[in-house]
């Protein structure tokens, strides 16, 4: 009876030991591997500092030795983050390029996408955009209006009618707004709108699908 109880206690102690070993051993192994890796990474820097100071930093300046290790780890961590950021930026850029190449292979989509991208980049994003605002002008005849982009430069002609002021506008074609007509329109016939450049381009590219209600200036309601 006593022999069986002793065996039971021994088995219990062994099981507890093995359970503790299963927890401690991975931690110790990880710590040793980390310490070994740290020594490999920091030894060249520590050796260089020891050479510059003319002393053995490892044995004679323990605090400096630990500071060097911490500094090396910090530099490596920051470098790793920077490498990761650059890699992600590169991957995202490549994904965008692949997407653009795919769109450029689709006939109709290629025309619309390329035109909209070029126009958006040159007219909206640029602070030196050639157009200043979106307006309506009589086109192709006095009974109808076309959406146009007002060009910054004003043209004045006093021949025939000194009081008339003509302004250059660009009437884009749809769905490709990179082509169109340059018109010289009497300033009195130009109807301002509340459309932004981006909204105007979207209206042209969408072939007029976008609703334009409530976007015109209320004081410009002439027939």
Cis peptide before 4 (omega within 30 of 0): no
* Least confident among 15-29, 44-58, 198-212: 44-58
Residue 51: both structure tokens together: 């050479």
CA-closest candidate to residue 193, choices 176, 210, 174: 210
The whole-angstrom separation of Cα 120 and Cα 126 is 9
- Rounded to two decimals, the pTM is 0.41
- What does the pLDDT read at residue 221? 44
Bin 168: left if φ > 0, else alpha if -120 < ψ < 50, else beta. Answer: beta
pLDDT surpasses 60 at 158: no
Q: Is 10 helix (H, G, I), strand (E, B) or coil?
A: helix
218 pLDDT band, cuts 50/70/90, is very low
């Amino acid at each position: 009876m006593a022999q069986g109880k002793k065996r039971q206690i021994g088995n219990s102690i062994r099981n507890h030991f093995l359970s503790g070993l299963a927890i401690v051993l991975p931690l110790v192994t990880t710590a040793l591997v980390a310490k070994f890796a740290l020594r490999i990474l920091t030894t060249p820097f520590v050796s260089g500092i020891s050479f510059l100071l003319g002393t053995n930093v490892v044995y004679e300046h323990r605090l400096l030795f630990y500071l060097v290790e911490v500094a090396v780890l910090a530099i490596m961590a920051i470098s790793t983050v920077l490498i990761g950021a650059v890699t992600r930026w590169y991957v995202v850029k490549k994904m965008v390029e692949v997407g653009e190449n795919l769109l450029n292979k689709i006939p109709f989509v290629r025309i619309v996408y390329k035109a909209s991208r070029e126009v958006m980049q040159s007219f909206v994003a640029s602070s030196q955009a050639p157009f200043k605002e979106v307006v309506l002008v009589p086109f192709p005849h006095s009974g109808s209006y076309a959406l146009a982009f007002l060009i910054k430069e004003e043209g004045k002609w006093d021949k025939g009618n000194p009081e008339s002021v003509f302004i250059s506008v660009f009437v884009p074609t749809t769905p490709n707004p990179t082509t169109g007509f340059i018109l010289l329109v009497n300033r009195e016939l130009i109807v301002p709108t509340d459309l932004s450049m981006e909204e105007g381009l979207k209206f042209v590219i969408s072939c007029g699908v976008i609703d334009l209600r409530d976007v015109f200036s209320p004081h410009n309601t002439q027939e």
